[in-house]
Amino acid sequence: MEEVVIGLDFGTTSVKAVAFDLQGKVKVEAEQLIETYFPEPSFVEQKPNEIEASTREVLKDVFAKTKDKKVLAVGISCAMHSLICVDKEGTPLSDMAIWSDGRSSELVANLDPAVKKSVYSKTGTPIHPMSPLLKLMWMKENDYQPYQQAAYFISLKEYLLFKWFGKRVIDYSMASATGLMNVKSLDWEEEALDLAGVKRSQLSTIVGPTEVVEGLNQDIAAELGWPKGTPLVIGAADGQLANLGNGAIKPGEVAVTVGTSGAIRQLISGQHVNDNGETFSYAFTSDTSIIGGPTNNGGIALQWLKDMMEFEGSHEQFLAGAENVEIGADGLLFVPYVNGERAPVWNQNARGNFYGLSVTHRRPQLVRAVLEGIVFNLYQIGQSLEEIAGAPTTISVNGGLSKSPLWVQILADVFGKEIQLADTHHGAAWGASWTALVAIGKVESFEQIKENIPIDQVVKPNMKNHERYKAVFTKYQQIAKDIEKYF
């Protein structure tokens, strides 16, 4: 009987269940979209009960389609920075604020710089509205009723585990991304707890990513068709697991994920917090962490341009012609902060900027400038990583923009490195699955995954283009810095 492992992946836009064979090939998958709500200006929320219902559907589907296979385990990947106020039974008192929720923007802007520096140095989480710490501080200052009534404060993953298993546990990476955990002691940080106005008892027990969660509710197990004896492993956050799923787990191995938003990340031994505050440092295991920077502006910047120009054709048609535009988009530069920005500026009030527009510019130049601007922003974040971990040796890429050959070539040329493309876009789900295999002893180590990652393509840089891009990037970097004072 063929053996498979299932990765349950909670993203911002969908929940997926993916069954892999032990070489990382997708055998079965199911997906349901997640609806996002905007009840007030700057509020960005989702409904945990809707996501939990969708999770049941995707798991039922995948379990039904793998009845002829042996399911070894289920591992979980989850998007970071979600926050739900719940009562003692785990019933939501609030909808779930997600990473892009900006209700605490004014609070962040007015926070004492010394407090920001102190908390960041201990937690490794930048002081930004994405952080549950800042969401909690806003709730405290605004007498938010669900906050006042809450028995516990939990993330989406914790909500599912509480509802299905009756356990309140959180893995290192999800805890680290709350801004409430000390990245060195791997325990809740007292200064952050005081700022948030919460008690340790209101937060979950912190465990490692290979923790097996037991005690699945039997009614739920029966409804899902959960194979008897199949363990569930808590896993980690999507960023850590995307690195693992793409094999970027050794020094110098960098992973870039660019969908609607994006991130550039690297796993390191121990913990290291960057003095300049431009990057995050989130724990993965007890002795490794992931450093990196997220950007709000990946594919959303390109989609914005397409919508703004009222272009009715496909994305492929929209990009057509940009490959023939000279490097530097014929003198046009784009700072891609159209959706506010996290790294490197950590300012939700940041705004995008076209520099160098002239009457000669047309759609291909604007498209090229946006594609280059997204890459320049990632490259700038990557330079902050280099201060900690050195120059990258390899770069693996996944996400929606990785499907654009032009954008991937620009990425290779700007970084001056080979780009590895996996033949699946389920990197985080495969990382969750591999973590589950490590937990049950089916494989020996996290590092062993490197032997089981299907690589679809390697894109080589044009080093002459790389030299030309150096000059363009220097100009981009100066413009990006100059406009910060206007945010």
Beta-carbon contacts of 222 under 8 Å, excluding residues fewer than 6 positions away, are none
Q: What kind and span of H or E run contains 294?
A: strand 288-295
Average pLDDT over residues 310-338: 96
pLDDT in the model for residue 398? 86
Encoding tokens for residue 255?
């992973």
pLDDT in the model for residue 388? 85
pLDDT in the model for residue 241? 95
pLDDT in the model for residue 271? 85
Is a pLDDT exceeding 80 seen at residue 39? yes
Is a pLDDT exceeding 90 seen at residue 228? yes
Average pLDDT over residues 458-485: 96
The interaxial angle of helices 299-308 and 363-389, nearest 10 deg, is 160
- From its phi and psi, is residue 322 left (phi > 0), alpha (psi between -120 and 50) or beta? alpha
Encoding tokens for residue 315?
């994305």
pLDDT in the model for residue 20? 97
Gyration radius of the chain over CA positions: 22
Largest CA distance in the chain: 67
- The amino acid that residue 458 corresponds to is V
Q: What are phi and psi of 38, to 5 degrees?
A: -130, 75
pLDDT in the model for residue 387? 85
- Report CA 435 to chain centroid distance, whole Å: 17
Average pLDDT over residues 234-254: 93
pLDDT in the model for residue 364? 97
Whole-angstrom distance, CA of residue 355 vs CA of residue 391: 29
pLDDT in the model for residue 351? 95
Tell me, what DSSP letter sits at residue 347? B
pLDDT in the model for residue 432? 98
Which of these, 474, 461, 365, lies nearest to 410 by C-alpha position?
461
| Contact assessment for residue 218 and residue 412, using Cβ atoms and an 8 Å cutoff | no
SS (H, E, C) 73-125: EEEEEECCCCEEEECCCCCECCCEECCCCCCCHHHHHHCCHHHHHHHHHHHCC
SS3 label, residue 333: strand
- The amino acid that residue 79 corresponds to is A
Considering 293-307, 389-403, 414-428, the range whose residues carry the highest mean pLDDT is 293-307
Neighbours of 306 (CB within 10 A): 20
pLDDT in the model for residue 455? 72
pTM beyond 0.85: yes
The mean pLDDT value of the chain amounts to 95
Q: What are phi and psi of 170, to 5 degrees?
A: -140, 140
| Contact assessment for residue 210 and residue 173, using Cβ atoms and an 8 Å cutoff | no
Whole-angstrom distance, CA of residue 2 vs CA of residue 52: 29
**Cis, bond preceding 344 (omega within 30 deg of 0):** yes
- Give the model's confidence band at 245: pLDDT under 50 very low, under 70 low, under 90 confident, else very high: very high
Would you say how long the chain is, in residues?
A: 487
Beta-carbon contacts of 360 under 8 Å, excluding residues fewer than 6 positions away, are 330
> Which residue's entry shows tokens 């499907």?
403
| Contact assessment for residue 5 and residue 72, using Cβ atoms and an 8 Å cutoff | yes
pLDDT in the model for residue 453? 83
Q: Residues 63-119: pLDDT tens digits?
A: 999 999 999 999 999 999 999 999 999 999 999 999 999 999 999 999 999 999 999
- Give the model's confidence band at 219: pLDDT under 50 very low, under 70 low, under 90 confident, else very high: very high
Which of these, 185, 130, 99, lies nearest to 347 by C-alpha position?
130
Positive or negative torsion for Cα 452, 454, 460, 461: negative
Whole-angstrom distance, CA of residue 278 vs CA of residue 343: 6
Q: Output the CA–CA distances (angstroms, integers) from residue 438 to 64, 133, 154, 421, in the order listed.
A: 25, 31, 26, 24
| Contact assessment for residue 97 and residue 467, using Cβ atoms and an 8 Å cutoff | no
Is a pLDDT exceeding 90 seen at residue 422? no
Whole-angstrom distance, CA of residue 30 vs CA of residue 50: 16
Q: Output the CA–CA distances (angstroms, integers) from residue 485 to 29, 177, 350, 481, in the order listed.
A: 47, 28, 10, 8
Is a pLDDT exceeding 80 seen at residue 401? yes
Percent of the chain with pLDDT over 90: 89
Beta pairing partners, 181: 188
Whole-angstrom distance, CA of residue 293 vs CA of residue 290: 10
Is a pLDDT exceeding 80 seen at residue 150? yes
- Report CA 351 to chain centroid distance, whole Å: 21
pLDDT in the model for residue 4? 98
- Give the model's confidence band at 176: pLDDT under 50 very low, under 70 low, under 90 confident, else very high: very high
Beta-carbon contacts of 67 under 8 Å, excluding residues fewer than 6 positions away, are 225
Minimum mean pLDDT range among 64-78, 154-168, 349-363, 419-433: 419-433
Q: For Cα atoms 304, 306, 310, give the angle at the middle one, nearest 5 degrees.
A: 115
Neighbours of 429 (CB within 10 A): 31
Q: Which residue has the higher pLDDT, 328 or 401?
A: 328
Neighbours of 190 (CB within 10 A): 12
Average pLDDT over residues 263-275: 88
Average pLDDT over residues 22-43: 96
